[in-house]
Structure 1
């Protein structure tokens, strides 16, 4: 953490995605689809996973980055 007023830094608390209750489908795939450059490398999104409607238990698509 940076305190620019006092010109000091302090360690930040490390948290995992699990600690923050982030889920692959609900969060990570959406972030990747909406802002692929945030991961630092150019990505080509070839598929996106969708939840199947309740009345249809058909196949699901997945997000994949290349």
Structure 2
């Protein structure tokens, strides 16, 4: 389509690149919600739990 034809001519900011993908080739978004204990006796606080998740899953976006 017209967008696939136009993208090669576009020049985004330095370090950026553009590519048009078919819908079937887009990465699948997986979203989940977790309940983290925040009471004073919890073994790990919510911030530490999110930090650990981030360190162990480099591509995971924890919303920080």
> What TM-score do the two structures reach when normalised by structure 1?
0.26
> What TM-score do the two structures reach when normalised by structure 2?
0.27
More strand by share: 1
1 or 2 for the larger relative contact order (CA 8 Å, sep ≥6)? 1
Larger Rg: 2
